[in-house]
Chains A and B, each alone.
Chain A
């Protein structure tokens, strides 16, 4: 994991958007892509099928420029949400500096959310990473749907966020909460790099 490279003065953060299928991970990336000036973003690699379901992963590099003398780069990845793509998910998760869990706020999707969260935990363990040490934020997407179909942020926090990590209500399609989420995970990731001794 090359989080901070003091030699080349680079900070590279790999942030993975994780969550069940169709929860809006790719939509998050598309929204961010649309807001980042052209000069700052790389080519967005999107391997999606005709129905916009992620086959492998989406990849969006963002160059934040020089921050405190460090060339700062973010690499945003999504994973394919469908259950049967677990090998791919594990691969994408490798070397992640932070994870955004994009949950689907619809009440009927709660089980999928829980299953995906458990899957995240076990996949991180496979990489020898304790989920408690991994910077993580929750995003409850599709909050724009009719009230009767969805759970509120508080309800979802109760159901999913037992580690009390920062959580954000979002409507990725229209951009609400997207940058707040990105900011939340960035702060966690950068704080972790400050705590960890770079020479270690």
Chain B
């Protein structure tokens, strides 16, 4: 039933090298102390590397130490056969008892447990029983437990619970040692260098190494003269010393010296393949398959194949490829303008080039770029001052390094402080860069566009239009409040822009986290860049703005007028503009020159009929427009108007 141990397979006849030292050491340990050291011991290696040898050597060694031990070696197939026979004879229990009494059980070729559920269960039971009884079990396989297909988890863990060792391909030194020992065993002697030459060939296992040795021994026996290095190479088909062993060149020119069957075969096949594959057909067929695989119509090429000997095959293929490249370019271009149109079949048929060009032109015409920044707000006309220098500096950084430094940039401030001006100014500057497409618009327009796109079933087109932009600037982001779909779309755009390092700029009346109706994910993204506040215009700024305003109205800038106007309590540059306009209108109505006195009359006396008073003019300066909100007490104090202004207000 079970195999007997091969007397030649002992530890003494096993050549130990680096690749198998661990397995041999573990084997010896197990043989000396069965059941106590590594239980189970699992040895795995490729075919012909000595698993069976070590397994049997363990049996021999254990027997030598304790002759009374009951040792069984068997392959898994034998185990299966024995089990089936026992079951058939109705002696399943006797079978189990028999194996449970084995002191050292050596099972070879365990990899055949694949797809044998009942055997796996049986082996699991046996392993447990043996382990409990302190009996040794050693298993050998051509792969580690985890790689045996369909192996029960419990068996894997049980096998891995002891020691799992592998045996590799022996190294050069070990191979020399193996060859010397085996040659010695056979009573053959070789000239110096012969066995070393054989050892240089990296045979995948020892069995093949033995095969090589056997051939040399046979060759030497037939020819009376001792074999030398060169003859050994010839016999074994090893390339000569010039080319390193094991690295035969791909061309593999058949060596004339030895009738190498494989080389001969290779030569024959080469001739056959050469005949079989007419070169031009191969090229055409290759092109057909390639472009067909990429989704292009290949009718033009297929026609070539129908011909016997077409002229100028390569030119035809090249022309086809050129057309395909053009189609590709068109499709890519169209895809950025209108993704829906890009899927049209016309872009996949090189025989309809003109139609494809026409279709692309049509899409090109229909695709308007996203709204651009207004030219009315150049950066040069933005008046700097201490109250807006944070915002302005941030804007300059953004212009210098779009998408890199502050992304997004959120300009926060009350209405009329110049946020829109700065936003457009940034847009204009960014648009000056090469290949820049700057989308700059009010949030309201953005929402309206999306609604129109949804209405016209062109949301893809709308999205693509913004995706093309290299920067997106939205004015009055608070208007997104409650517009869920727009927030959704903006969120997606936001992420794409951030990922691509494209600049985003927004304006808001107050800090984003105080804005109501904005989704948390939008708010957190807005907060993620730089939030730059633009404060109320300071006196210096007001003077600068007044200077400019007076110049535009062609009014001589008298210091008294400037001082008076600059000291007026105003909240924003827009108010200041309104102020000057009123004075200028009044002067025009009275046909009088603009002066400080006139201004005082107009602004503090009874207002001329027909002139609407701006709200906020009467306020103390700390009352805030409805759009914004003063959130901190400190800010209120900070923005307190000049003392003189307050007195005037108090007097009223």
Residues of A bordering B, CB below 8 Å = 4-7, 9, 11, 34-40, 46, 49-50, 64-70, 72, 175, 178-179, 182-183, 186-187, 190-191, 193-194, 197-199
Contact at B269–A198, with CB atoms within 8 Å? no
Contact at A35–B262, with CB atoms within 8 Å? yes
Most buried by A among B47, B250, B302: B250
Give the residue of A35, A187, A194, A198 whose beta carbon is less than 8 angstroms from that of B261.
A35
Most buried by A among B269, B290, B293, B305: B269
Contact at B279–A68, with CB atoms within 8 Å? yes
State the Cβ distance, B140 to closest chain A Cβ, in Å: 13
Contact with A along B107-150 (1 / 0, CB 8 A): 00100000000000000000000000000000000000000000
Contact at B272–A37, with CB atoms within 8 Å? no
Contact at A68–B274, with CB atoms within 8 Å? yes
Contact at A6–B285, with CB atoms within 8 Å? yes
Complexed CA–CA distance, A7 and B287 (Å): 8
The 6 closest A-B pairs by CB, nearest first: A194-B276, A6-B286, A65-B250, A67-B273, A179-B261, A198-B285
State the Cβ distance, A151 to closest chain B Cβ, in Å: 26
Contact with A along B253-264 (1 / 0, CB 8 A): 000000011101
Give the residue of A7, A37, A175 whose beta carbon is less than 8 angstroms from that of B290.
A7
Most buried by B among A39, A40, A68, A187: A68
Q: Is B376 an interface residue (CB 8 A)?
A: no
Contact at B289–A39, with CB atoms within 8 Å? no
State the Cβ distance, B607 to closest chain A Cβ, in Å: 85
Q: Which residues of B contact A187 (CB under 8 A)?
A: 268-269, 272
Contact at B288–A179, with CB atoms within 8 Å? no
Q: Is B78 an interface residue (CB 8 A)?
A: yes
Q: Is B528 an interface residue (CB 8 A)?
A: no
State the Cβ distance, B379 to closest chain A Cβ, in Å: 56
Give the residue of A39, A67, A68 whose beta carbon is less than 8 angstroms from that of B247.
A39
State the Cβ distance, A37 to closest chain B Cβ, in Å: 5
Q: Which residues of A contact B248 (CB under 8 A)?
A: 37, 39-40
Complexed CA–CA distance, A70 and B293 (Å): 19
Contact at B264–A179, with CB atoms within 8 Å? yes
Q: Is B202 an interface residue (CB 8 A)?
A: yes
Contact at A67–B274, with CB atoms within 8 Å? yes
Complexed CA–CA distance, A127 and B360 (Å): 48
Q: Which residues of B contact A50 (CB under 8 A)?
A: 75, 77-78, 109
State the Cβ distance, A71 to closest chain B Cβ, in Å: 10
Contact at B305–A199, with CB atoms within 8 Å? yes
Residue of chain A at shortest CB distance from B275: A194
Complexed CA–CA distance, A86 and B277 (Å): 36
Most buried by A among B77, B264, B276: B276
Contact at B277–A68, with CB atoms within 8 Å? yes
A-B contact pairs, 17 of them (CB 8 A): A6-B285, A6-B289, A9-B286, A11-B273, A37-B248, A38-B202, A39-B247, A40-B262, A68-B274, A68-B277, A70-B273, A70-B277, A179-B265, A183-B268, A190-B269, A190-B272, A198-B289
Complexed CA–CA distance, A179 and B247 (Å): 23
Most buried by A among B208, B268, B272, B302: B272
Q: Which residues of A contact B276 (CB under 8 A)?
A: 190-191, 193-194
Q: Which residues of A contact B75 (CB under 8 A)?
A: 50
Q: Is B312 an interface residue (CB 8 A)?
A: no
Complexed CA–CA distance, A2 and B202 (Å): 33
State the Cβ distance, A67 to closest chain B Cβ, in Å: 4
Residue of chain B at shortest CB distance from A175: B261
Q: Which residues of A contact B282 (CB under 8 A)?
A: 6, 68-70
Contact status of A64 and B269, CB under 8 A, knowing A34-B211, A179-B264, A194-B276:
yes
Q: Which residues of B contact A199 (CB under 8 A)?
A: 285, 288-289, 302, 305
Complexed CA–CA distance, A68 and B77 (Å): 46
Q: Which residues of B contact A68 (CB under 8 A)?
A: 270, 273-274, 277, 279, 282
Contact status of A183 and B269, CB under 8 A, knowing A7-B286, A9-B286:
yes
Residue of chain A at shortest CB distance from B301: A199
Q: Which residues of A contact B202 (CB under 8 A)?
A: 38
Contact at A186–B272, with CB atoms within 8 Å? yes
Q: Which residues of B contact A34 (CB under 8 A)?
A: 208, 211
State the Cβ distance, A141 to closest chain B Cβ, in Å: 17
Contact at B272–A38, with CB atoms within 8 Å? no
Contact at B272–A36, with CB atoms within 8 Å? no
Complexed CA–CA distance, A24 and B203 (Å): 24
State the Cβ distance, A171 to closest chain B Cβ, in Å: 14
Q: Which residues of A contact B247 (CB under 8 A)?
A: 39
Complexed CA–CA distance, A186 and B47 (Å): 29
Q: Which residues of B contact A179 (CB under 8 A)?
A: 261-262, 264-265
Contact at A66–B273, with CB atoms within 8 Å? no
Residue of chain A at shortest CB distance from B306: A197
Contact with A along B209-221 (1 / 0, CB 8 A): 0010000000000
Complexed CA–CA distance, A175 and B77 (Å): 30
Most buried by B among A34, A40, A66, A183: A183
Give the residue of B109, B203, B270 whose beta carbon is less than 8 angstroms from that of A67.
B270
Q: Which residues of B contact A190 (CB under 8 A)?
A: 269, 272-273, 276
Complexed CA–CA distance, A5 and B282 (Å): 10
Q: Which residues of B contact A7 (CB under 8 A)?
A: 286, 289-290, 293
Q: Is B252 an interface residue (CB 8 A)?
A: yes
Residue of chain B at shortest CB distance from A32: B262
Complexed CA–CA distance, A69 and B262 (Å): 20
Complexed CA–CA distance, A7 and B294 (Å): 11
Residue of chain B at shortest CB distance from A6: B286
Q: Which residues of B contact A49 (CB under 8 A)?
A: 77
Complexed CA–CA distance, A49 and B109 (Å): 10
Known contacts A46-B47, A72-B269, A194-B277; 5 additional CB pairs below 8 A are A39-B247, A40-B248, A183-B269, A198-B285, A199-B285
Q: Which residues of B contact A182 (CB under 8 A)?
A: 265
Q: Is B266 an interface residue (CB 8 A)?
A: yes
State the Cβ distance, B433 to closest chain A Cβ, in Å: 42
Q: Is B246 an interface residue (CB 8 A)?
A: yes
Complexed CA–CA distance, A65 and B290 (Å): 22
Contact at B265–A183, with CB atoms within 8 Å? yes
Complexed CA–CA distance, A50 and B52 (Å): 12
State the Cβ distance, B290 to closest chain A Cβ, in Å: 6
State the Cβ distance, B206 to closest chain A Cβ, in Å: 14
Contact with A along B549-563 (1 / 0, CB 8 A): 000000000000000
Q: Is B204 an interface residue (CB 8 A)?
A: yes
Residue of chain A at shortest CB distance from B78: A50
Complexed CA–CA distance, A197 and B289 (Å): 12
Of residues 459 through 499 on chain B, the ones whose CB sits less than 8 Å from some CB of chain A are: none
Of residues 189 through 208 on chain B, the ones whose CB sits less than 8 Å from some CB of chain A are: 201-204, 208
